[in-house]
Each structure stands twice: as structure tokens, then as C-alpha cells.
Chains A and B, each alone.
Chain A
Amino acid sequence: MPYPPPSRALTGPRRRTLFASAAGAALLVGCSGGSGESRESSAGSPSLAERVRARAARDSVGLVERYDAAIAAHPAAAERLRTLRAEVVRHAEAFGGTIGKSGATTSTSPSPSASPSPLSSPSPSPSPSSPATEKDALVELATAERALADRRTAALADVPGELARLLASVAAAGAVHAYLLTEGAR
């Protein structure tokens, strides 16, 4: 980055220098952003990329919660679902999201209905509830995975190259999950 270190802005003359170079830098950024096509990572809007990345992290965390609900409601399917869940956890982390340990999930925006359900509770209801039958639960997860993969495929058009590559890969993984879940529901 062409910016001088901020500590230089303490005295008068240096301060002017900072202003001058900051204005020059802004001008340069404006030029290259306007003339080039937006396929360079430097030309994409950082705030848009950041928003897409944060959204992707939240979406993956939300998906982990759905897996948790399905695993809790359908222990017979748990082993298979845990493999897919583990991959979704890796997706969330790749986008900068955080997943709490042992099933507890934390998203950047706290979910209003997240309340810990004690083990003694007769019908534990995690925030996203899972359909009553295992088959329906798998179909619902498949639908969620596919919808998210579609949304990510659409979102990758507007972001810098490396993030687009990651989004495309994770969207592909989502399509794979949807396929495996649909197969499992048969």
C-alpha cells in the first residue's frame, strides 16, 4: 500500500505530506478501478467482497445448525450426516466463520431463538427444527444445500478471483452434499 505509516502524521510538514500522498493514492485507485475490468482482485470492491464472504460464513454456520437439528432428531442417520456436517464446518471456517465445539454453533449475528435445551427436556427443539421422518429430514437438508449452492454460484460473479474460486468450490461441495442426501433419502 502506498500509504505512509500513521505515526508520521504527528507534525505539521509531515502531515501535509500524508495528505498529499493520500490524495495521490486515492487518485491512483480511482484510475485503475475505472479503467480496468473488474477481474483483478485489486479492482473488486473490498466491501462487496467482504460482505459476500461474511454472508457465506453465516450461511454455512446456519447450515451446520440444520445438520445439528437433523442429527439430534434422527440418530440413525447421524453417522452419515456427521461426515457432511464436518465438511460444512470447514466451509464456515474457510469463510472466517466460527463454530463452537461439540455441536454448539455460534454465528456472527446471534440467533434470537438460540436457547440451550437441557438434556432432561422431553422434546428438545433446537432453533432450526428437523422434519419428523428421517427421509423428510434428508430431503430438507438436500434442498437447503442445493439452494445455497445456487446462491453462491450467483454471488461469485461479483467478487475477486480467489474468493470466487473458493465460493465455486464450496458451491460444488454443496451440490455434492445435495446429491448424497438425495441418494440417502431413497
Chain B
Amino acid sequence: MSGKADGKASEQRELKALQEALAAEHAAVYGYGVVGGRIREGRRTEARSAYDAHRARRDALTREIRDLGGTPVAAAAAYALPFPVPDSAAAVRLAARLEDRVAGVYADVVRATAGERRRSAAEALREAAVRAVRWSGESVAFPGLAERAATGSASATPTA
């Protein structure tokens, strides 16, 4: 196994992890659009700033993927919501779910990358975890690590 092939393989893993993070950020941006339309007045600003944060991360990931020679995955036209979102309480639950999903993909980016990309992914994971608890009110021991979660949430995310 040559160092070159090895470097190629790790670059592929890196690209794959970044693409998955981008797909999750696309979904989060879409999801927060739904959240913003349903959430009560008092929490609208918070939802708005989360929406902005995810747009910024989405744009940063798009640049990183291009830098690596990849073609950034596109957003889906629409996403299936994990549950109906008729009111503010459901919107808050959806927001928490979106953050959990994003935390998971960034944990994988941390594993697949090094240097500045890894640092940035760790930061994104941290921010997602804090936003998740702001919405849900409940902390989890290992944000983003599904294999260590007490309860599984396999079908928790908006899917294309």
C-alpha cells in the first residue's frame, strides 16, 4: 500500500464526510424554513439566527468541497419531515431533531479530516449541540455519536 494511494483514500473519505455534512445542512436550512413559519413569536429570533448559522455552514462546506475538487451535492427540492409540524411545540421538536442530525455528521467530519477542517467541524458540532439543548432542554452525554446514544433515532431526519 503506497502513501499516495493511502492519501487518495483518506481524501475520498474526507470528501464523502463533507458531502454528507453539506446534505445535512441543506436539510437543516429547509427544516428551519418550516420551523420559522410555525414557531411562536418569542422564539422566532432564535430560529432565525440558527437558520443563518446553517446557511453560513452550508456555504463554507460548499467551498471546502470545491477546494477538494468535488462537486457539492445540491439541495433537494423538498424534504419529507420526520413528523407533522402543525404548531410551535412541533416546530421546536423539529429544530432539536435537525441539530441532532447535524451534530452527527460533523462528528464524522472530525474523524475524516485533519487540521483546520477538523477544528471547524468540531466547532460546528459544539454549536449544534448547544442549539439542540436550547430547543429540547435535555442534554445528551455524547452529542453526535449515535452509537453511544441511549435511544436510537434512525428515521429522525428530513430525507430527500
Query: Which label, helix, strand, loop or mixed, suits the secondary structure of the B interface?
Result: helix
Interface centre among A40, A149, A169 (most CB of B within 10 A): A169
The 20 listed contacts between A and B (C-beta, < 8 Å) are A35-B3, A36-B7, A39-B10, A83-B139, A87-B139, A156-B110, A157-B114, A167-B122, A168-B121, A169-B125, A172-B129, A172-B130, A173-B129, A173-B139, A173-B140, A176-B139, A176-B143, A177-B139, A179-B133, A179-B134
Q: Which residues of B line the A interface, CB within 8 A?
A: 1-3, 6-7, 10, 14, 103, 106-108, 110-115, 118-119, 121-123, 125-126, 128-130, 132-134, 139-145, 148
Interface residue? A38 (CB, 8 A): yes
Total CB contacts across the A-B interface at under 8 A: 110
Interface residue? A31 (CB, 8 A): yes
Q: Which residues of A line the B interface, CB within 8 A?
A: 31-32, 35-40, 83-84, 86-87, 90-91, 94, 149, 153, 156-157, 161-162, 164-173, 175-177, 179-180
Of B10, B118, B140, B145, the contact of A157 (CB 8 Å cutoff): B118
Inter-subunit contact B122/A171 (CB<8 Å): yes
Inter-subunit contact B3/A172 (CB<8 Å): no
